[in-house]
Amino acid sequence: MAAPRQDPKKEKEETSKLEGDATQGAIAKEPQQGKVSGTHYSSPKGSAEEHTGKHSGGKTGKEGPAEMVERQAAESAAVDAKAAEPPPVQPAPQVADIKNIDIALDTYNDIFSDFDISPYSKRQLSEDFIIEMLRRVPTSSPGTPVKVVLSIPQGVRSPQDEKVIHKRIRHVFSKKLQEIEGEIRAYQQKGLKYMAVGAGIILLTLVETDWPVVNAIFNILLVPGWFGIWTGLSKIFDEPAELVKARKAYHALSTAQYVFVSEEDVKKTLG
């Protein structure tokens, strides 16, 4: 039995309705697919490329043998370049000027007294030698190092004697320095005595008496009393210029460096 045939007009309307529903469903799915694709699943190809890039030489991936060799070579070159750099230039230290005193000798006896026949370790220095050293030693700048160069002919030199003479010279000048310091102390002690006498006289004048003559004498004694005090102060604080100069000179000579050289070497240097 044949199925009843539908109306063509009605069939056409149903077909159009089905196509419209399909179109709306496709439109509704497109934003959702785009959102998902833009967030995590944009492109399988892109994901594969990103995954490959992370493991093919990126900073966080493992290095290959070639990259490791290049990196080690670069680090070694950097270390060598740093080691080859010249050290920083340091400023030269400031060295105080050295005062040289040159003394020419014929023999070692020129240093010592002609009237003393003791060995070099106990022999007195010549007055001429001491005067010459005091004349030439600097006293204006007491901190300046002094070097005394004693030239003597090579034929009469004796290293053993030179060691003894060097020690003897410094000992004599050290003893002279102690003597000068003793004189300065005695000068200052004399000032203390002046002050004590002056203070005693002033205290005496403070006594009140009923005798006009005694009071007049006390008034006269005020003058020497104050004189003693001021003179004593000047002796304590104002040291004699001559003793101060001598102390500086002997201190420089007692700490000086004494060097013996051959006369022939000096002539070669000057020539």
Place of tokens 């001598």: 246
Percent of the chain with pLDDT over 70: 68
> DSSP class of residue 186?
H
pLDDT digits (tens, 9 = 90+) for 224-247: 999 999 999 988 888 888 999 999
Contacts of 146 (CB under 8 A, 6+ apart): 98, 99, 101, 137, 138, 252, 253, 255, 256, 257
- Is the pTM here over 0.75, yes or no? no
Split at pLDDT 50, 70, 90, the class of 3 is very low
Which tokens hold the place of 72? 């080690």
Residue 42 scores a pLDDT above 80: no
**Mean confidence (pLDDT) of the chain:** 77
pLDDT for position 91: 47
Q: Contact at 8 Å (CB) between 147 and 100?
A: yes
pLDDT attached to residue 271: 65
Beta-carbon contacts of residue 113 (< 8 Å; ≥ 6 apart): 123, 124, 125, 126, 127
Give the three-state DSSP class for 119. Answer: coil
Six token digits for residue 115: 């009237």
pLDDT of residue 216: 87
What pLDDT shows up at residue 179?
95
Q: Would you state the pLDDT for residue 20?
A: 54
Radius of gyration for the chain, computed over Cα atoms and rounded to the nearest angstrom: 55
Q: What is the pLDDT of residue 123?
A: 94
Structure tokens at 209: 């008496």
Give the ranges where the chain is alpha helix by DSSP (H): 8-39, 44-54, 65-84, 127-136, 159-205, 212-237, 241-254, 263-270
d(CA 169, CA 252): 12
Per-residue model confidence as pLDDT tens digits over 95-149: 446 678 999 999 999 999 999 999 999 999 999 999 999 999 887 766 778 999 9
Q: What is the pLDDT of residues 159-198, one digit of tens each?
A: 999 999 999 999 999 999 999 999 999 999 999 999 999 9
